[in-house]
Structure 1
Amino acid sequence: MRINRIAAATSLIATLALTATACGGGSSTGSGGGSNTSPRTLTYWASNQGTSLDNDRQVLEPELKKFEQQTGIKVELEVVPWSDLLNRILAATASGQGPDVLNIGNTWSASLQATGALLPFDSAAFAKIGGKERFLPSAIASAGAAGKDPAAVPLYSMAYGLYYNKKLFQQAGLANPPATWDELLADGRKLTTGSTYGIAVEGGNVSENVHHVFTLGKQHGADFFDAAGKPTFESPGAVAAVKQYVDLIAQDRIAAPGNAEYANNQSVTDFATGKAAMLMWQAAGATLKSHGMSQDDYGVAPVPVPAGAAGDTATSSMVAGINLSVFRNTRNLDGALDFVKFMTGKEESVVLNKAYGSIPPVKDAQSDTAFSTPELKMLSGVLGTSAAPLPQVPNESQFETLVGTAVKNLFAAAAAGKPVTDESVKAELAKAQQQMPAS
């Protein structure tokens, strides 16, 4: 199951620093707050990882019952839709009333860390959950700003891969998937014929946009922020990355113009139904199966990089995933840490990541045969060797929204037949940078 995350900028983010002190102590009253639970009860906000909220409850409730049997602590579960999750978390950090434990999109880690509302996982906290060394370094790197104690621990991990339709590749005379971006464009032109396009994209999906341009930005030597955390959206590398991605419709024309409006996984459907020969996606296997596509129908390879790339320029994915955090004002800290230890233990890591088709960020869980499929083995390799976390800065969520929207606007222009130039790309990115709040 694909790990979704939609980082929506809201007015609450601008006030997070001002409300941080209100999140550190628990004298609040009211409903739904971790500060109101008894020592034998925890509240847990889970993100929607499955095919529906009910599916998540079906996956999680037996595991929470297992935890209750082991510890005597009852977990009150609420599965929160992605469309609501960030706003719910921001409201909780502002009010000081939140759950004891919650899932967060890993790209939000630094933004939420800056509020002071989440428990820092220092050496003592890590010791209580079995140690920091149990987790993949790349996954830990997406749990908060560098040089600070993480604000969360990894729960589900994922990376992007290039999915390709074996039959369409064979018909086009292509023996192997593209390894470089030039090869992707050349193959895409051969594959674009009749009603089939070379690749499908989600031009109307803000999060997908920013994930891909971040990866391409790394390939062009751009990070979108400087060492001081100030945005550099107008840098030559950032402009080149955005134009490269939008040109899949604008100039190279290997993606359908209608993809500019896609925002709800339609690109996966196009790939599964043969309307597109390639797709850059996170763990699409379960969705492709639901559309009648077998594992023999497609292959998965790393997202292409520039020829001769090394180091950061060989980045082929952002570090995708879900992290698990503890609200700092919980009245049941020991129970909350026990729950984190349970959820990230080897046994539960296997059960949960298997259910959701994700990769365990816990090292010893990856050896389970459930994660030995060609798809997951390849994605796991990407996660461990060529994936980079999105910028771990306090304003990261605004970056996702503003840059992702800029790319969406450029895709819309391309679909309408308007030229997309370095100048028009830079203008959109300049507009996005101007809207960023001061650090």
Structure 2
Amino acid sequence: VDSALGSTGAEGQPPAAVPLYSMAYALYYNKQMFADAGIDAPPATWDEFVAAGKKLSKDGKWGTAMEGSNPSENVHHAYVFAKQHGADFFTPDGKPDFTNDGAVTAVKQYVDLMAKDKIIAPGNAEYAQNQSVSDFAKGRTGMLLWQSASANLTSQGMSEDAYGIAPVPVQSGTPGAGTQVNSMVAGINLAVFKNTDNLDGATEFVKFMTSDTEQKILNTAYSSIPPVKAAQADPAFNTPANAVLKDTLAKSAVALPQVPDESQFETAVGTAVKELFADAAAGRPVTTDSVKAALTKAQQQMPTK
């Protein structure tokens, strides 16, 4: 699948690895809570998402939950918001560009779900261990933005009939190419080093792991999507939930930046967002200036060439 290959190396260069399994973000929503709140359909835009969240945030329950102390989750959402605003965190030649207007707007929009819109409980600023999934599974929140969550929700006792799944909202409401991306692809890949002592054995192992049979076993266990097209055709991956994930991967997902310093980017920007969530939880203002200052600090932490 093209989006999976996009996470296997530098753009325009041959893949440096082989995709093993694919995950996409989706919007999971509690059907009963939606019905009780008079919400007829899952939100397609972020404005609709906030409006739904406000209707759901009552009687000790909240619209949604976030892993505010998890840098990886933070950077995933920040990156998707940035792409929706037509922005990126790196210039075309790979230099960090964390403080451009689109990136600042994106991070602020994300943190504002707690700071301004107040559809996320302040305590979520400390979440880092999948607590948001647990809150959703236990009916404490009405919506969840997560990657391939079905197996996780089932393990926590939530019936598949209790929730629906829809594409992650975008600015306009229509997922598609360009700025309407609504999921990132990080890349769970296999690579073989050229200097391996057993090149033939390693290559055979890659072939085995990406074979149709093994892809079905692996991705069924993880409720993920096979990056191998032939394996995707198996009935196990044609459920309504998987249809949303497959469509997202095929049409509106993009790889995280394929740059040498990508891991440092995740840590720096993810931590900046964590600190902004802490401000929001404490009632400190989250402004365009404060977001830009946090991203400036993050950029200063990136390696210099």
Aligned residues: 304
Q: Does 1:392 align with 2:261?
A: no
Structure 2 CA distance for aligned equivalents of residues 224 and 323 of structure 1: 23
Cα deviation for residue 368 of structure 1 reads 0.6
Q: Does 1:361 align with 2:223?
A: no
Q: Does 1:193 align with 2:58?
A: yes
Q: Given residue 182 of structure 2, which amino acid in structure 1 is its aligned partner?
A: S
Structure 2 CA distance for aligned equivalents of residues 410 and 162 of structure 1: 23
Superposed counterparts of 1:289-368, under 5 Å: 289-307=154-172, 311-368=177-234
Is the alpha carbon distance of 1:301 and 1:320 closer, same or farther for their aligned partners in structure 2, counting shifts above 3 Å? farther
Residue among 166, 182, 191 paired with 2:31: 166
Question: What SS class does the counterpart of residue 158 from structure 1 fall into?
Answer: coil
CA offset digits 1:175-202 (Å, max 9, x no partner): 1000011100111111110111001111
Quick check: 1:138–1:383 contact (8 Å CA) kept in 2? yes
Residue among 238, 245, 270 paired with 2:110: 245
Quick check: 1:157–1:361 contact (8 Å CA) kept in 2? yes
> More relative contact order in 1 or in 2 (CA 8 Å, sep 6+)?
2
Superposed counterparts of 1:209-248, under 5 Å: 209-248=74-113
| Alignment-derived partner of residue 275 in structure 1 | 140
**RMSD value, Cα:** 1.0
| Alignment-derived partner of residue 438 in structure 1 | 304
Structure 1 CA distance for aligned equivalents of residues 262 and 67 of structure 2: 21
Question: What SS class does the counterpart of residue 271 from structure 1 fall into?
Answer: helix
TM-score by length of 1: 0.68
Structure 2 CA distance for aligned equivalents of residues 268 and 180 of structure 1: 22
Quick check: 2:187–2:255 contact (8 Å CA) kept in 1? no
TM-score by length of 2: 0.98
Bigger drift between 172-181 and 348-357 goes to 348-357
Quick check: 1:159–1:320 contact (8 Å CA) kept in 2? no
Q: Given residue 82 of structure 2, which amino acid in structure 1 is its aligned partner?
A: G
Structure with greater Cα Rg: 1
Q: Does 1:425 align with 2:283?
A: no
Cα deviation for residue 335 of structure 1 reads 1.4
Superposed counterparts of 1:102-117, under 5 Å: none
Cα deviation for residue 148 of structure 1 reads 2.1
Superposed counterparts of 1:116-131, under 5 Å: none
Question: What SS class does the counterpart of residue 179 from structure 1 fall into?
Answer: coil
Question: What SS class does the counterpart of residue 149 from structure 1 fall into?
Answer: coil
Quick check: 1:219–1:305 contact (8 Å CA) kept in 2? yes
Structure 2 CA distance for aligned equivalents of residues 353 and 291 of structure 1: 19
Quick check: 2:68–2:74 contact (8 Å CA) kept in 1? yes
Q: Given residue 211 of structure 2, which amino acid in structure 1 is its aligned partner?
A: G
Q: Does 1:412 align with 2:296?
A: no
Is the alpha carbon distance of 1:297 and 1:352 closer, same or farther for their aligned partners in structure 2, counting shifts above 3 Å? same
Question: What SS class does the counterpart of residue 164 from structure 2 fall into?
Answer: strand
Structure 2 CA distance for aligned equivalents of residues 307 and 146 of structure 1: 27
State the identity %: 64
- Name structure 1 gaps, 5 residues minimum: 1-135
Structure 2 CA distance for aligned equivalents of residues 188 and 172 of structure 1: 10
CA offset digits 1:217-261 (Å, max 9, x no partner): 001111110111111100110001100110111010000000010
Structure 2 CA distance for aligned equivalents of residues 410 and 358 of structure 1: 31
